[in-house]
Structure 1
Amino acid sequence: MSSRASAASRKSAKTEYIETDTGNKISRRAKIEGSPNIMLGGRTVIMADVHLRGDLHRFSQSSTDGKTSGAPTTAISIGRYTVVSTGCTIRPPMRLSRGQMNFYPMKIGDHVFIGPNSQISAISISSHVHISANCVLSPFVIIKEKCKILPDTVVPANMVIPAGSVVAGRPGRIIGEVAEGWGAGSASGGGDWVEGGELKELVRSMK
């Protein structure tokens, strides 16, 4: 996988992950569809049994005859040092318009942690967001910087979550704000990572 998730890889049969030339680590057991339409920023981890739906994307329009072309378009963009945990599905949001299903590009920022078995169809997740296990982010959700989504939360479609919010419930609602200094620093400097903080140590620990 390249910068678009399909670059030449340094493969080793002894490791769980295939590492790309930009330092992305992709599990051999992940399912990635439409890889030319997926952009990984670098040093990002895609764990086992993750399903990335890059095949769900808009086709670019021809400027001359109005027909759709097969040119690649970014369906899923994931920033640097982001971790997508086991069993997650990342699927761009879609909307029915004039009898046709349209897909919209999804953007995920830097240092985002997505917990196990979460289902993500948000349109935008900003940087330093922590999403706990078994969460559902419905289509066209927007999450601003430094938010925390608690386990088993179902965020309803089109919800906009302000920066620094804590969200929980089914349906999800804002129940508070993260504490001052949340996400800053490292717990011990020994390879630990802090929710909402930088995920460099976590990414480096995965082999």
Structure 2
Amino acid sequence: MKGKSVVLAYAILRGDFNSPIRIGRYVSIGIHTILRPPTLIESSGGRSMKPTMSYLPITVGNNTRIGKYCVIEATAVGSSVFIGDDVVLSKRCIIKDCCRIEDGTVVPSDMVIPPFSIVKGCPAKIVGELPESAAVDIVDESVDAYTAFVQEQQQQKR
């Protein structure tokens, strides 16, 4: 975690699978959200054909907001991404930079969402496109949200 990021109450980051979780700056992770490394099941090849399971790393870019009650098993979530509440990012999906994932969306395993996409539904579908100015707007919003959080915490201590 690079700093100036917020992990709210009851969020779970499963770093115990010997697979790193990398989180950028100005990231907000909502209450009751779970980040767990996605699994990859491979066949060893030989006669036994015994499958082996490994865990892949998770990367969350800068200026990204993950809502409450989400389950994140994505391989990568880009920078300047807004993820609504109750979203499921299934195993190994990839969310590129500057995307908006609407509340209640379920992104299926291995789906790649291109930059500037608005995604909604179960299963997820691209329903629109963000303007190019969204890249700057999302950065400003994430910095403002962090600043407001810090000020609120300081007031509660008084």
Give the superposition deviation at 1:176: 1.1
Q: What pairs with 1:1-207 in structure 2 (closer than 5 Å)?
A: 40-58=1-19, 75-98=20-43, 99-185=51-137, 196-198=138-140, 199-206=142-149, 207=153
Give the superposition deviation at 1:115: 0.5
Mapped to 1, the partners of 2:146 and 2:123 lie a distance apart of 31
Give the corresponding residue for 1:21. none
Work out whether residues 77 and 107 of structure 1, in 8 Å CA contact, stay in contact via their aligned partners in 2: yes
Mapped to 2, the partners of 1:203 and 1:179 lie a distance apart of 23
Give the superposition deviation at 1:180: 4.2
- Please provide the CA RMSD for this pair: 1.2
**Where in structure 2 are there 5+ consecutive unaligned residues?**
44-50, 154-158
Work out whether residues 119 and 125 of structure 2, in 8 Å CA contact, stay in contact via their aligned partners in 1: yes
**Where in structure 1 are there 5+ consecutive unaligned residues?**
1-39, 59-74, 186-195
Work out whether residues 11 and 34 of structure 2, in 8 Å CA contact, stay in contact via their aligned partners in 1: yes
The normalised TM-score by structure 1 is 0.66
Mapped to 2, the partners of 1:115 and 1:136 lie a distance apart of 11
Give the superposition deviation at 1:100: 2.0
Mapped to 1, the partners of 2:18 and 2:94 lie a distance apart of 19
Identity %: 35
Give the superposition deviation at 1:183: 4.8
> 3-state SS of the aligned residue for 2:53?
strand
* AA in 2 matched with 1:81: Y
Number of aligned pairs?
A: 142
* AA in 2 matched with 1:201: D
> 3-state SS of the aligned residue for 2:134?
coil
Give the superposition deviation at 1:202: 1.1
The normalised TM-score by structure 2 is 0.85
Mapped to 2, the partners of 1:56 and 1:167 lie a distance apart of 29
More helix as a share of residues:
2
Work out whether residues 57 and 92 of structure 1, in 8 Å CA contact, stay in contact via their aligned partners in 2: no
> 3-state SS of the aligned residue for 1:157?
coil
